[in-house]
Amino acid sequence: MTKPALCLVTLLATVAACGKVTTPSPDGGGDDVDAAAGDDPVVTITSHPDNPTSQTTAMFAFAADGPATFECRMNSDAFAACTSPQSYAGLAANTNHTFTVRATSGAGRTGTATHAWTIDTVPPTVSITSGPASSVESSTADFVFTSEANTLVECQLDGGAFTVCSSPTGQSYTGVAVGAHTFTVRATDQAGNAATATHSWTVVAPCTPTLIEAESLTTGWSTAFGSVLHGGQALDTSVVNNSFTFNFSGRGLIIYYRRGPSAGSHSVRIDSGSPVAISATASAWSYQNPTTVATGLANGNPTATVICTAASCQIDYFDVTCN
């Protein structure tokens, strides 16, 4: 007859069944504890990167519910001994990653914990599709824009603080002062990547076209025919390089002049700008021939200088515009 193997029993252990040694609980009652195996350690990752994130570095803090040694690995790398915290740098961007930590108890039992996340470094798309013209009189500004889905959309006016826009697709402002302005819309995705779009424009004072009569004429100018410029008469000179000046309020100026076989040429200069040359020579006489001298001026009080560069010039009248 074959005998069962002998079991070595100490005073602190009893034989429950040959081959298994159990240790009584300290109070002498309740379930016995398996001293050879024990429970698997419970591992907790207490600090980890956000998911998603734009950072290509990562730090993990972790702990077990009892004494244990730790091994870590990134993605499919081999496990290697580690301690908390464990850091990584130079991780690949725009892809997924998985960190695993394994704890081993003194009894050889193991437990693991993982954290998966995505590194995203691509900025979201954002663009302004509608805004004020480059120069406007209105103190109200309305903007329409588009941005990538699932982004935080914020607006800024003239370098002020960014605030959440009034809607994901638009923003309006009132009481915008005269002067230059810049609107910026910023979109930030869940990984923290941000992109901006800007629109610049100028608010100008309301324009009321006003022609201010020439206070006096230099020697050699005379009045003739009908005109709205000077005392209801046109201006005529036969002195080469003779000139006169006047002021106006508006953004544009049009000169109307006489053309004919003996008519000469002249030029008009606004403030210190370059003269606009006008030739009046023609095969037949005609009146009120228009030439645009200036557009898009600041709405101030510029000075126009008319210079007759030939032997004979006649100016019919000027027209001030808001263009």
User: Considering only 1-15, 50-64, 147-161, 260-274, which range has the smallest mean pLDDT?
Assistant: 1-15
Q: Do domains 126-203 and 210-321 have the same CATH topology?
A: no
Q: Residue 318: what pLDDT?
A: 79
Q: What is the pLDDT of residues 196-221, one digit of tens each?
A: 999 999 998 888 888 776 545 566 77
pLDDT at residue 171, as a whole number: 97
- Kind and range of the H or E element at 215? none
Q: State how far the Cα of 71 lies from the Cα of 84, in Å rounded to an integer.
A: 10
41: pLDDT strictly greater than 90: yes
CATH of 210-321, one of 3.50.50.60, 1.10.760.10, 1.10.10.10, 2.60.120.260: 2.60.120.260
CATH level 3 topology of 43-119: Immunoglobulin-like (2.60.40)
What are the Cα distances from residue 209, in Å, to 243, 248, 260, 297, 299?
23, 8, 30, 12, 9
pLDDT of residue 36 exceeding 70, the answer is no
Say what the pLDDT of residue 22 is. 42
Residue ranges of domains in the chain? 43-119, 126-203, 210-321
Average pLDDT score over residue span 47-66: 98
Would you state the pLDDT for residue 317? 76
Rounded Cα gap, residues 41 and 106, in angstroms: 10
Task: State if pTM tops 0.75.
Answer: no
Residue 273 pLDDT > 70: yes
Q: What local confidence, expressed as pLDDT, does residue 216 receive?
A: 53
Helix, strand or coil for residue 224? strand
Measured distance CA(168)–CA(145) in Å, rounded? 8
CA 101 to chain centre: 41
| pLDDT tens, position by position, 103-150 | 999 999 999 999 999 999 999 999 999 999 998 999 999 999 999 999
Q: What is the structure's pLDDT at 37?
A: 60
Evaluate if residue 269 carries a pLDDT over 80. yes
Choose between 201 and 315: higher pLDDT: 201
State percent of the chain over pLDDT 70.
Answer: 82
Please state the rounded mean pLDDT for residues 284-296: 87
Q: What is the CATH number of domain 126-203?
A: 2.60.40.10
Q: Are 56 and 119 in contact (CB under 8 A)?
A: yes
Helix (H/G/I), strand (E/B), else coil: 230: strand
**Side chain identity at residue 135, one-letter code:** S
Confidence of residue 72 (pLDDT cuts 50, 70, 90): very high
